[in-house]
Structure 1
Amino acid sequence: MVEFPESNVGPKFKGKRVGYFRETAGFERYRAAYVDGFEQLPQVRETVDVPTGFGTVRAYRFGAGDATPLVLLPGRQAATPLWAANLPGLMGVRPVITLDLLGEPGASVQTKPLTDEVDQAAWLSEALAALESRPVHVLGVSIGGWAAANLAVRHPERVASLILLDSPFVFGGVTWKMITVSLGAVLPGMPDTWRSKLLSWISGGVSAPEELPEGRLIASGMKDFAAYLPMTQRPAAQRLSALTMPILGIYGGRSIVQNARKTVARARKLLPGGQFEVWPEASHAINGEFPDEIAARVAKFLGASDA
């Protein structure tokens, strides 16, 4: 069974501007969902807690081989168990490393405030440098894609290629629907039924997402964890245009987070050498909806990148 480190739990962390679980009962609820979700994953080859200047980052290695690893970054309120549907296929492409984002609920533990996007790129760069001396392929879904892009523009030497799955705040903003979900879902006093409806809305209409371990995980993260993260800033257009590594962006045509076609149009204008696609039937929960198709597309993309 996966072991949790000593986490930030309780009101003594309020005011310190680091992420923490509001109370012990909420932490236990989240940990139970994390453990249940983790049991659905393939066997872990190695578990590592990586020290950085902003806290300890939990990393897991899956699969074997000497190929350049693919690093997976989850979305907001999520963590490694989010990748249950994706890991079997992606492990067939190359070794995989998953990270729990610092400042979000998970097994990473924040110790110092993250004040801006420079700090957010710094901890990720530190963690990857400790895990791999060479540049790695980085895939992020949702805000994990923003974290990957933020790393690429500030520490391009760490990134061999960049893959974005329906990631906002990179080539465009978000819709009013997403703002509604973001504000409503994190209110501590919100009834669980309302939170479930918001989670279903963003997940493409899944009737009961909390019946799934990853749904329980995200719902508990929304309810039980207080995050203190800086306002997400879009990378400057000139920084994005200067990127030279191979880039693949896949956006959901049914996503409520952003207008996929407008986002892809902006991306192609800024990075004409990149590969940007709209998958019409995908929602923001694209990684869980199309795991086999994503694995096949990533294999093709990385094969061409390696060549």
Structure 2
Amino acid sequence: MTNFSHRQIDLSGGLRIGVETAGNPRGAPVVFSHAILTSSVMWRAQASLLADHGFRVLLLDTRGHGSSTPLSAPYAIEDLADDVVRVLDALDIQRAHFVGLSLGGMTGFSLGIRHPARIASLVLCDARADAPASYAAPWDERIDIARQYGCGALAESTVERWFGKDFLASHPYVKAQFVELIAGTSVEGFAGCARAIQKLDLLDQVDRIKVPTTLVVGAKDGVLPEAMSELAKRLPQAVLDVIPAAGHLPNIDQPVAFNASLLGHFERYKA
């Protein structure tokens, strides 16, 4: 069983980022970044897998999520990417692989564009690089609900959108875990990140990402398979993996296939 150690890293200005670490301290570092309304807990299985393969894994809680403190909303995706780099600086890590899903994947696009010298490779999952009106608009209502009733009021609709009713019915423990994660997210952290998502505008810059990249998407994740297929055409070193029968969090609902994709990435791009 993998042992994780936890600490908070002070990035100044009242922001403290929760970081869990495991694996070989001398191994190639891999940073994991999670979806909105969750925490680094969602990556525990994959972090353990890579730790067992000799990597040094770092699971970061995005500001206002998990054990990280919130700042006043709004944020920008660039702020979240800069948070990652500041954590790397604090840990004296010059270059790391990065694995991000949804909001974490958006953060990864920004990292690849803004901080190419700090990123060895990218695994970007179920994420887009832009926010067209049809995608941005629903976040206003979600923010209003969270501010009025707390993030727990978003839990049922969110987990159903991510996993589907059938999966949740047969995996009640997954539903319970993610309902708890969502309810435990700070309202300010959620609102800040939701505003960052609404302002996402990186599509015309992704061709600047030159590091080896694997794009991963659940086949049942709405319009994202098509969106990520288009992204793959724009990225010069991208491979696209579509995970059959998976939704928005393929590492959770199809872990065997997802883990194979993750290990395949590091096999292709030796650390």
TM-score bracket for this pair, using the shorter chain length:
0.7 to 0.9
Query: 1:18 — aligned with what?
Result: none
Distance 1:255 1:177, change over 3 A: farther
1:95 matched to 2:61: no
| Aligned: 1:231 with 2:192 | no
Is the Cα contact below 8 Å between 1:196 and 1:210 reproduced in 2? Answer: no
Deviates more, 1:150-159 or 1:187-196: 187-196
Residue 252 (structure 2) pairs with residue 288 (structure 1): yes
Partner of 2:127: 167
Alignment of 1:1-307 (within 5 A): 42-44=2-4, 46-54=5-13, 55-64=15-24, 66-93=26-53, 94-102=55-63, 104-110=64-70, 115-168=75-128, 170=129, 173=132, 179=138, 182=142, 186=146, 188-189=148-149, 195-205=155-165, 206-207=168-169, 208=172, 212-221=176-185, 225-227=187-189, 228-229=191-192, 230-232=195-197, 233-256=199-222, 259-306=223-270
Letter in 2 for 1:239: Q
Taking a change above 3 Å as real, the CA distance of residues 218 and 300 of structure 1, as seen in their structure-2 partners, is same
Query: Which structure features the higher share of helix residues?
Result: 2
In structure 2, C-alpha distance between the alignment counterparts of 1:226 and 1:175, rounded to whole Å: 23
Relative distance call for 1:152 and 1:269 in structure 2 (3 A) is same
Rg larger in structure: 1
Q: TM-score, normalised by structure 2?
A: 0.81
> Any gaps of 5 or more consecutive residues in structure 2?
none
Residue 166 of structure 1 and its aligned partner are, at CA, apart by: 0.7
**Alignment RMSD:** 3.1
User: What residue ranges of structure 1 are gaps of 5+ in the alignment?
Assistant: 1-40
What percentage of aligned pairs have identical amino acids? 18
1:193-223: CA deviation from partner (whole Å, max 9, x where unpaired):
87424422322321346753343112332xx
